[in-house]
A and B are shown apart, each in its own frame.
Chain A
């Protein structure tokens, strides 16, 4: 009995310790679901208040300078090499805007006692390796040695923000076409133009029908109509009789409708579909495809 209990306990322990080892593929990236969440804190090593502060600061940094950050604090990573892990992460998600390659990855693996600040190609000038090292040595290390993960991350991001704020060459995300608003405006514009064309066509058609060839005035009105069906050809013929209210000239208009294509209903469906399809927007963020050339600094504590 006791032995089996022990066995179960050991299995549970292995499973939990396995769950705490992250690979590039199973590390949660909350940013993808919610673009205000830059911090990945799956093991709850950071306090909620620290996570909130970090998210706020990193959000401001992205808005003002277009620096897209992923900050992760985990118990253990596969392989134990934070630099390799960060590079793989950057390669997988393409963190940072493509235009300026301004991705930033900050990773702390507490179980491996290792950390890395990885800068995208476009950030290497703003945050040179030596500066990253200095931030790590002076802002992070003292707190890390005490096991104060909150303090280490808050200090690091505070220091990084200072350097990024000092660089005017980095352009904020609002200056780029955000894609979201741009797409929406474009969509609405297309809708407007499309509707305009449809209304114009209807109006033009009506006006053409109301033209009286006898007195040259637009006074013809429909007074009667009936339809005939030809099943063999698959068409329905409309016979509309128009009379001019000015000179009482009468004319008959015939037009055929193809029975096999429910064109009107289909067009309406497509229109409605595309209109409502524009609705359900998600609020997840997306990464811009930035690349990393290996800049930054790593260390152990």
Chain B
């Protein structure tokens, strides 16, 4: 009888202590989900800017078909990939990142080309679109940083000792952060 009482007390005590851990994990997971929603919103914002930008450039440099099409194609490819943040695999995230990276590169080329069209550069709408695009790239970088921070906090607490048991019972899996942009580690090559 006495042992039964002890066991009962132990069970009650552990659950009383766990609710705290459990709530913390839920909270941190929610932060990750929110951070991911922000990342997606910022990428969407960039995708929404592209048609406008392409049309503006077309008006001045219609024969730069290749660069224009590259942007449009990259955009349509990237918008097809949607990710569920609660169970994303590293491969899925890498795919998403690669598709978005393609847009970044295509846009970079388009902006570089537009440098050689003085009329386009002087166009107010183009200048403002460029500013919006730049702001969006900044926002993407910031939201990705916040997402990675949230993931790191969550991953650390999931793997800490007593938490790891409850994380295992309640199926709190590790989350995947963004990897550094492909090519970011490589110094750019300059050729003369």
Contact = CB atoms under 8 A, between A and B. Distances in A.
Interface of A: 83, 87, 128-130, 132-134, 137, 292-298
A257 B132 CA distance: 77
B131 A294 contact: no
Given A129-B132, A129-B134, A129-B135, A293 B142 contact: yes
B50 to A, nearest CB: 15
B139 interface: yes
A297 B143 contact: no
B138 interface: yes
Contacts of B127: 133, 137
A135 to B, nearest CB: 10
A133 B130 CA distance: 9
Interface residues of B, number: 17
A133 B135 CA distance: 10
Interface in B127-177: 127-132, 134-136, 138-143
Contacts of B139: 293-295
A293 to B, nearest CB: 5
Contact of A132 (B38, B124, B131, B136): B131
Contacts of B38: 293
10 contacts: A83-B138, A87-B138, A128-B132, A130-B132, A133-B128, A134-B124, A134-B128, A294-B143, A295-B135, A297-B134
Main SS class of interface, B: helix
B142 A296 contact: no
Contacts of A130: 128-129, 131-132
Contacts of B136: 129
Contacts of A132: 131
Interface in B1-57: 38
Contacts of B124: 134
Interface in B85-139: 124, 127-132, 134-136, 138-139
Contacts of A296: 135, 138
Closest 9 CB pairs of A and B: A133-B131, A294-B138, A129-B135, A130-B128, A294-B139, A294-B142, A297-B131, A129-B132, A129-B131
Contacts of A298: 134
Contacts of B129: 130
A294 B138 CA distance: 5
Nearest to A294: B138
B123 to A, nearest CB: 12
Contacts of B138: 83, 87, 294-296
Nearest to B131: A133
A298 B134 CA distance: 9
A74 to B, nearest CB: 21
